[in-house]
Amino acid sequence: MTKGPNWLIKVKRKPKAYKKLMKRKRIYRKVEGSVARRRSAEKRLKFYGIVAISISFIFLFSLLYNIIGNGYSAFISTEVKLPITFTKKLVDDDNFHKVVKSSLRSSFPDVKSRSDKRKLYAITSKAVPHDIKKIFEQNPEYVDKTIDIWVLASSNVDMLLKGKIDRNRDESERKLSDKQISWISKFEEQGRIRKTFNTRFFTEGDSREPEMAGILGSIVGSVLVILSCMLFAFPLGVMTAIYLEEFAPKNKFTDFIEVNISNLAAVPSIVFGLLGLSVYLQVFGVPRSTPLAGGLTLALMALPIIVIATRTSIRAIPQSIRDGAMALGASKVKTVLHHVLPLAMPGIMTGSILSIARVLGETAPLLMIGLNAFVVDVPEGFLDAATVMPTQIYRWADSPELGFAEKTSAAIIILLLLLIITNALAVYLRKKFEIRW
């Protein structure tokens, strides 16, 4: 029911009622104003969030674009077709270097001077004689025959054909001379140069030559380091968390342990490297530059993460599970091992996988214990000399060769893919085995 026009006049004749009405209006205006301010503040906060996410996305996109743009070409290698003559004398003398050199000279018979010959030989990779030898061992019937074989080009030739060395620059400012570029151009005109998938990058170990370097050794080394790390950190971390959460009395000593476990997760990684160097290498005599030394050092970093994740998972199990098991006659130990631990295992596995993802990308502690050494052979055990992917990336990035700069970005791509797969596996396990109480 609406009030008539004389209602306000009647109220004004009553001072107390009029004051009360004005007070209500002022309160209403204040509430309305505060609501408007809150809504505008929420809009500003939402706008700032969108701006922050956009800036983060731009930086992430720029980083990935730069890495992928520089590294995708490392998955392609350049090959040159040479007419290889397997003369019986050179084959018997195991002199396949001369076999390759004679093939290059036959392609350019006008090259006479010693310096020009050296430049001509530099067109192909230093791995070619070894590759030619393997081909001959598989095909001994090639004796005294001339066979056209695709061989690996040198890194400088590869960079030239990928556009990373400018042909138009002055000869003194590039690593290939004008004569070398003219010989390469002649090969291109004859259709004796091709680009193919770089299988050597995934099947070979490290090398001094960029075109021969691969990441298989570092991948195997990373796997061995992570295995030795988890074999030590996982059981110790889980048992520590079970004791602190289920059996340890609540006193100052356990509080001191819990605080230090939490603080260990924030300690700089280089400190763990110094600890591994002084304890594992100098006290216990663990061999330097081995996956065992690296795994034990990284286990110190993974241990706090596993303990915290395990304790959180155990704490999430309802007390009724424990009470029900003990009411049926189970002991405290059996209750924990047969009921609490299996139910907490999805969370424990998630925390362990995330700890693997962290130690997989660590570099500083491994530099301290020698896992940045130049290792050509692929390691076969925990006590063999090895390197890991982050340290190999670090070493390649420090090289002035253009080929290694390309390989650095390619190795970063592989490492990022491994990290993404590891984190995706953790998310999958958490979603698949998660139990809501």
pLDDT digits (tens, 9 = 90+) for 127-159: 899 999 899 888 888 888 888 999 999 999 999
pLDDT at 50 over 50: yes
**Cα dist. 334→236, 301, 330 in Å?**
19, 30, 6
Better-scored residue on pLDDT, 31 or 388: 388
pLDDT at 144: 85
22-31, 104-113, 320-329: range with lowest mean pLDDT: 22-31
Mean per-residue pLDDT, 387-405 = 89
> Are the beta carbons of 327 and 271 closer than 8 angstroms?
no
pLDDT confidence of 1, banded at 50, 70, 90? very low
State what percent of residues in the chain have pLDDT above 70: 91
Taking residues 268-286, report their average pLDDT: 87
Contact (Cβ atoms closer than 8 angstroms) between residue 156 and residue 186: no
In angstroms and rounded to an integer, the radius of gyration of the C-alpha atoms of the chain is 34
What is the signed CA dihedral for 18, 23, 28, 30, rounded to 10 degrees?
150
Q: What is the pLDDT of residue 4?
A: 52
In this prediction, residues 398-418 reach a mean pLDDT of 89
Give φ, ψ of 289 to 5 degrees.
60, 35
Tens digit of each residue's pLDDT (9 = 90 or more) over 282-341: 888 888 889 999 999 999 888 888 998 899 889 888 888 888 888 888 888 889 888 888
What does pLDDT average to over the chain? 85
User: Does residue 423 surpass a pLDDT of 70?
Assistant: yes
- Rounded Cα–Cα distance for residues 378 and 360 (Å): 18
Q: Which amino acid is at 236?
A: L
Least reliable range by pLDDT among 229-243, 301-315, 422-436: 422-436
pTM over 0.85: no
Q: Where are the domains of the chain?
A: 76-198, 216-433
Task: Examine the pLDDT at 186 and tell me if it is beyond 80.
Answer: yes
164 backbone dihedrals φ, ψ, rounded to 5°: -95, -5
What pLDDT is recorded for position 21?
61
- In 3D space, the residue among 84, 130, 128 whose CA is nearest the CA of residue 106 turns out to be 84
DSSP state for residue 399 in the 8-state scheme:
-
DSSP string across 40-80: HHHHHHHHHHHHHHHHHHHHHHHHHHHHHHHHGGGGEEEEE
Whether 213 and 204 have beta carbons less than 8 Å apart is answered as yes
Q: Percentage of the chain with pLDDT > 90? A: 25
Q: What CATH number does the domain located at 216-433 have? A: 1.10.3720.10
Higher pLDDT, 437 or 193: 193
Look at 19 and 282; give whichever has higher pLDDT: 282
Judge whether residue 89 has pLDDT over 70: yes
